[in-house]
Amino acid sequence: MASGTVDIRVEDHVAIMTVSRPEKLNALDLEMLRALSDAADEVEANAQVRAAILTGEGRGFSAGGDIKAWGGMQPQEFGHAWVRHGHRVFERLATLRVPLIAALNGHALGGGLELAGVADIRIAEEHIKIGLPETGLGMVPGWSGTQRLVKRFGAQVVRRMALGGEMFTAEEARLLGIVDAVTSTGTVVDAAKEYAGRVAERGPAALEIVKLMIASASGEDNGTAVEALGSILAAKTGDLKEGVASFSEKRPAKFKGEW
């Protein structure tokens, strides 16, 4: 079975992650999930990156989960190795410290739409289609299609796709709030670069904090967002410096309540 990678290049503080399995319309298998997770780690670790773009190579953004990769799995393996593993990878992308822009150069169906849903901003080429066709296969959306997508797009929109099998054009998706902008065919990566460039000009710390605050307010990531914000704040204080110093020097700490 042909598999692929996620290619990464950094231009002017913007990381461009390209899902590269064009012969399968960038359908995801276990190797591709691992590649997405590794790409997220690499982008996260690069202090020069202030915004990121996620797109697909060739004619598709992502056709979703590769049926050949999961169709023969036993139920327990399917639940653990496929669904739960996919959740972890998608959550990793959704919680990148930098704003993530999905550049939809081709159809985003099923898991491909769930992948696009992890992004903070979505820009789509005018020819694409968007949908959640899983119930037509006797399956349900498994990578937060009924969870994250409901929070971000609204329950009724997800009902129309998941229950009614509706496919939306890029312009229909824009009017429904699934994508934020529509561009002509062949230009979405340039449009995403322009948007990411504007993002990258803003304060990196402020961007990270605002992203966490929005996640908390939307109910997507309450616990970890609050803990991350609290940890960042505590790490800036004089009390932490004193606590670390007293531990190293084996003496009682003399806290002053310094922020």
114 is catalytic: yes
Q: What number of other Cβ atoms are within 10 A of residue 54's Cβ?
A: 29
Cβ–Cβ under 8 Å, residues 131 and 168: yes
91 is catalytic: no
Helix (H) or strand (E) segment spanning residue 242: helix 238-249
Report how far residue 13's alpha carbon sits from residue 11's, in angstroms, rounded to the nearest whole number: 6
Report how far residue 123's alpha carbon sits from residue 214's, in angstroms, rounded to the nearest whole number: 20
Q: List 168's β-bridge partners, or say none.
A: 130
Sequence-separated (6 or more) residues with CB below 8 Å from residue 200: 12, 13, 14, 50, 51
Query: Which residue in the list 57, 134, 208, 220 is annotated as catalytic?
Result: 134
Cβ–Cβ under 8 Å, residues 106 and 59: yes
82-112: b or e for each residue (b if 16 or more CB lie within 10 Å)?
bbebbbebbbbbbbbbbbbbbbbbbbbbbbb
Report how far residue 15's alpha carbon sits from residue 12's, in angstroms, rounded to the nearest whole number: 8
Query: Which residue in the list 114, 125, 208, 220 is annotated as catalytic?
Result: 114
By the 10 Å C-beta count (0-12 exposed, 13-18 middle, 19+ buried), 195 is classed as: buried
As annotated, the active-site residues are 114, 134
